[in-house]
Amino acid sequence: MASRTSENGKITNQSASLADHVYGELLKSLRDGVYHPGERIREAVIARQLSVSRTPVREAIRRLQSEGRLKFEPQRGAVVAELDRQQVAELYDLRESLEGTAAHMAAQHASDAEIQAMFSILEKTAAMTADPRELNQINWRFHHSIYHAAHNRYLIKAFSAVADSMALLRGVKYIPENRPQQLYEEHLLIADAIRNRDSAAAEHAAREHVRQAFRIHLETAFQDFAS
């Protein structure tokens, strides 16, 4: 690996720095739904997109494999990992508890500005199409705003871990035609309860939202047309 000496005399590793950069970009792409579960990650394509050699790309891919985000398949190489049915059930069970707690606490602690931010995101939600990547990004922006409004640093850390795992759900390319409107209505119930400072209603709406998301996921991801 190439290295260089900085002005203060410390040795820095250029290759490791590039690998960290590539890792961060790939992780962001996974979180944003740029790559779907089962989709191949091509070293040459990533290297060209990020203007780096294939060495840091290979290192970043190995790191993501060790974390279970990517897996190696013969003849295909690195592909985005996907969760099986039991893992999906466990993930949604945890997510329901976290979402309910976050909404409950947001109703108690959210500032007026934070509540307004939720409704600003909802305006974008109302205009969403069924494009899975757009749906995913705006959906997580809304949930992220709730976790921040809960004002609990540990909830935010838990949210980040859950969001990373949600990116590995199979079938995310298949969005029911009426889901964007349902999503808006479900989010609106949560936001209204938070604005009204009704902790119990906010938690109930958030938990029901996750249960509905789980039902829809099972209907789409594990059918014959699932990815």
For 36-94, the pLDDT digits (tens) are 888 999 999 999 999 999 999 999 999 999 988 999 999 899 999 988 889 899 999 99
Greater pLDDT, 170 or 157: 157
pLDDT value for 193: 98
Q: Of residues 173 and 137, which shows the higher confidence score?
A: 137
**CATH of range 3-80; options 3.40.190.10, 1.10.10.10, 2.70.70.10, 1.10.3720.10:** 1.10.10.10
> Which of 51-55, 124-128, 164-168 is predicted most confidently?
51-55
pLDDT range class, residue 174, cuts 50, 70, 90: low
| 3 state SS of 72 | strand
Helix (H, G, I), strand (E, B) or coil at 77: strand
Question: Which of the four CATH numbers 1.10.3720.10, 1.20.120.530, 3.30.70.20, 1.10.260.40 does domain 85-221 have?
Answer: 1.20.120.530
Using CA atoms, how far residue 68 sits from 25, 52, 167, 183, in Å, is 17, 24, 12, 29
| Residues 192-196, mean pLDDT to the nearest whole number | 98
Q: What is the percent of the chain where pLDDT is above 90?
A: 56
**Whole-angstrom Cα distance, residue 56 to residue 22?**
7
pLDDT of residue 220: 75
List helix spans (H) across the chain.
14-31, 43-50, 54-66, 85-109, 112-126, 132-149, 153-166, 179-195, 199-221
Whether pLDDT at 21 is above 80? yes
Residues 132 and 180: their CA atoms lie apart, in Å, by 10
C-alpha closest to that of 122 among 141, 98, 101? 141
Average pLDDT, the chain: 85
**pTM flag (> 0.85):** no
| Cβ neighbours of residue 73 closer than 8 Å, sequence gap 6 or more | 79
What's the full length of the chain, in residues?
A: 227
pLDDT at 7: 45
- What Rg value do the Cα atoms of the chain yield, rounded? 20
Cα–Cα distance measured from residue 70 to residue 84, given in angstroms and rounded to the nearest whole number: 14
Residue spans per domain, the chain: 3-80, 85-221
What pLDDT sits at residue 36? 82
| pLDDT reading at 131 higher than 80 | no
- Best mean pLDDT range from 15-24, 63-72, 117-126: 63-72
